[in-house]
Structure 1
Amino acid sequence: MRDYEVTMEDLSYELEMMLEALLLSAGVKKDCLQKACDLYVENIDDVLENAKSQGAEGILEVVEFLKKNYKELFS
């Protein structure tokens, strides 16, 4: 088994790519992707504080929040 040294920069990059993929698969327009990512980060704490779900389902609640409140970002 290999030992992997993962840096914070590497993890940040991977998380950013995963967030972009999540938002694209949810229907965010490519030209709105950066704005959607920024809004996701800005709103995640407030949405999760009031969320009924946790974990992956909580993350999906944040996406639903964006769909409801920022319709112009979605196809």
Structure 2
Amino acid sequence: MVTKEQNQELFDSQIEAQELAMQLADMLGAALYFAGVRKDKMQEAVDAYLNAIDEVFEDDPEGEMGFEEIIKVIKHLQKTKKHLFR
């Protein structure tokens, strides 16, 4: 049986995960902005970034995404989605 305390811990963990996800989305937006994405194209660029991960790393779907891999995806976008950039 799940206790009230366990329910609260689960709820708190879910809130924390949502907050972290929002922070990561903001950080991705900042990275794309400094890579040259126009502000009015940011949502399209974020969507394109998420799709490009699969394109760039199709041979390694389980691979880790460190900063070098993030840069590789952004460079891919700069080549394939030029209309998103200044």
1:7: Cα distance to partner? 1.2
Question: C-alpha root-mean-square deviation of aligned residues, in Å?
Answer: 1.8
Identity, % of aligned positions: 41
Distance 1:63 1:33 in 2: 13
Kindly tell me the number of residue pairs found equivalent between the two proteins.
Answer: 69
Deviations 1:34-73 (A, max 9, x none): 000001011213313458xx62111100000000000000
Scaled by the length of structure 2, the TM-score of the pair is 0.72
> Bigger CA drift: 19-28 or 5-14?
5-14
- Give the letter for the 1:35 counterpart: E
- Give the letter for the 1:55 counterpart: G
- Give the letter for the 2:34 counterpart: S
Unpaired runs of 5+ residues, structure 2, are 1-12
Unpaired runs of 5+ residues, structure 1, are none
Alignment of 1:67 with 2:78, yes or no, is yes
* Secondary structure at the counterpart of residue 10 of structure 1: helix
Deviations 1:13-41 (A, max 9, x none): 00000000000000000000000000101
Alignment of 1:21 with 2:30, yes or no, is yes
Q: Larger C-alpha radius of gyration, 1 or 2?
A: 2
- Give the letter for the 1:38 counterpart: D
> Bigger CA drift: 42-51 or 9-18?
42-51
2:41 corresponds to which residue?
Answer: 32
- Give the letter for the 1:57 counterpart: E
